[in-house]
Amino acid sequence: MSRQPYPPEYREQILSLHRSGRSVASLARDFEPSAATIHNWIKKAEVDQTPELNDDERAELKRLRLEVKRLKTEREILEKAAAWFAQKTVPRSHSGS
């Protein structure tokens, strides 16, 4: 069962407290949203408040950020796989040769 979204007024109150100097951790501790949720609200507010971007540019920025995140994850997986394969292909010394 999913939770209903927080009302915009509530989000704005949390963001206002953050802008006034409250840490995300203290807001998460004192109010219901998790720290991750509050971080997401902060990111979204930063993008939404960028005046020089139009709606299409904001959408593209969001898409590109998601793509960067996906590519970083893929790179980490490939690095781990390369390290694993490197370990498996190291020639072992043959005794008695």
Are residues 82 and 62 located together in one domain of the fold? yes
Separation CA 67–CA 86 (nearest Å): 28
Structural domain that includes position 25: 7-49
pLDDT value of position 67:
97
Are residues 61 and 44 located together in one domain of the fold? no
pLDDT value of position 45:
86
One pLDDT digit (tens) per residue for the chain, 97 residues: 466 788 989 999 999 999 999 999 999 999 888 999 999 999 888 877 666 778 898 899 899 999 999 999 999 999 999 999 988 876 666 655 5
pLDDT value of position 58:
84
Are residues 83 and 59 located together in one domain of the fold? yes
Q: How far is CA 35 from CA 29, 32, 40, 81, in A?
A: 8, 9, 9, 32
Are residues 44 and 74 located together in one domain of the fold? no
